[in-house]
Structure 1
Amino acid sequence: MEAFLVSTGIVALGEMGDKTQLLALLLAAKFRRPIPIILGILVATLVNHACAGLVGDWIARALGPDVLRWVIGVSFLLMAGWMLIPDKIDDDTEGGSQRFGVFGTTVIAFFLAEMGDKTQIATVALAARYTDLLAVVAGTTFGMMLANVPAVLLGDVVARKVKMQLVHAVAAAIFAVLGVLTLFNVGRLF
């Protein structure tokens, strides 16, 4: 349960103001069809985070526990710093192509936008940190949906009301705490 809850919280906070959340806002404004957009986000996230989780699981098995602890601890600290850098949408992911329909465009755009994104890297680190791969992927996917479904449904009203700097600072603090706890081998880490 810890793997699911931590994964959900980290990704939900990390996704606030992220380029994929901005992409969700753009898709919602462009297509005005929330259900296929939400389903497209779900499918793209499940596939992307399952692949990222498998990479994290492989890393955990390939490295010894001492090396893994340092890699994960430093990764979490780097993620804490990265969370403080605001995202902008890349030109190549903006809007996508309509020839695949709303659902297909969303799946393709989200999958590509998520490649190398903070939440994908976080999924790799979380899967390496926790032994329950299914809980991590379910948690990171749920976190993405928690952040993006309101963005699709409420559009830019949410973006104007929530201070992204505060959300990113909280997410950075969580990553920093996890990094320090991992480096000092505090708690039930492995």
Structure 2
Amino acid sequence: MDLQLLGLSFIAVFLSELGDKSQVAAIALSGTSKSPRAIFFGTALALVLASLIGVLVGEGIAEVLPTHWIKISAAVGFAVMGARLLFWPSSEESEELD
């Protein structure tokens, strides 16, 4: 097992999940439940399953497309989402401006 890749993927996912809406949902569920252990295991299993799906889909796509094209499409996708968030208000924000 590549320990450097293991550490890199752990750090990337850990930092990206901090303050995420899934963490807020876990906090909300824990606040209204008498079983925080069940909330922990349920949310941990959900993250593991979502990661498994991402890895399997990524592996399948990598067999069809070159890695270079996958990285380019991811970069373009994130750039489009960033530009959309910066320059075009959502429908809720545009209603507030009116």
Q: Which residue of 2 aligns with 1:9?
A: 11
Distance 1:13 1:65 in 2: 24
The percent identity for this pair of structures is: 25
Deviation, structure 1 residue 3:
2.1
**Alignment match of 1:53 (pick from 49, 52, 55):** 55
Shift of 1:18: 0.7
Q: Secondary structure at the match of 1:31?
A: coil
Residue deviations 1:90-120 (CA, integer Å, cap 9, x gap): xxxxxxxxxxxxxxxxxxxxxxxxxxxxxxx
Residue by residue over 1:127-174, the C-alpha shift from the partner in whole angstroms, topping out at 9 and shown as x without a partner, is: xxxxxxxxxxxxxxxxxxxxxxxxxxxxxxxxxxxxxxxxxxxxxxxx
Runs of 4+ in 1 over 6 A off after TM superposition: none
Q: How does 1:12-161 map to 2 (within 5 A)?
A: 12-72=14-74, 74=75, 78=78
Q: Counterpart of 2:50 in structure 1: which amino acid?
A: N
Give the alignment's TM-score, normalised by structure 2.
Answer: 0.66
Instruction: Note the residue ranges of structure 2 that are not aligned, 5 or more in a row.
Output: 86-98
TM-score normalized by structure 1? 0.37
Structure 1 counterpart SS, 2:28: helix
Question: Alpha-carbon deviations, 1:73-101, whole Å to 9, x = none?
Answer: x16x828x86xx8xxxxxxxxxxxxxxxx
**Higher helix fraction: Structure 1 or Structure 2?**
2
> Higher mean Cα deviation, 45-54 or 22-31?
45-54
Structure 1 residues 63 and 42, CA gap change in structure 2 (3 angstroms): same
Could you tell me how far apart the structure 2 residues matched to 1:8 and 1:37 are?
A: 21
The one-letter code of the counterpart of 1:78 is F
Q: How many positions carry a matched residue from both structures?
A: 80
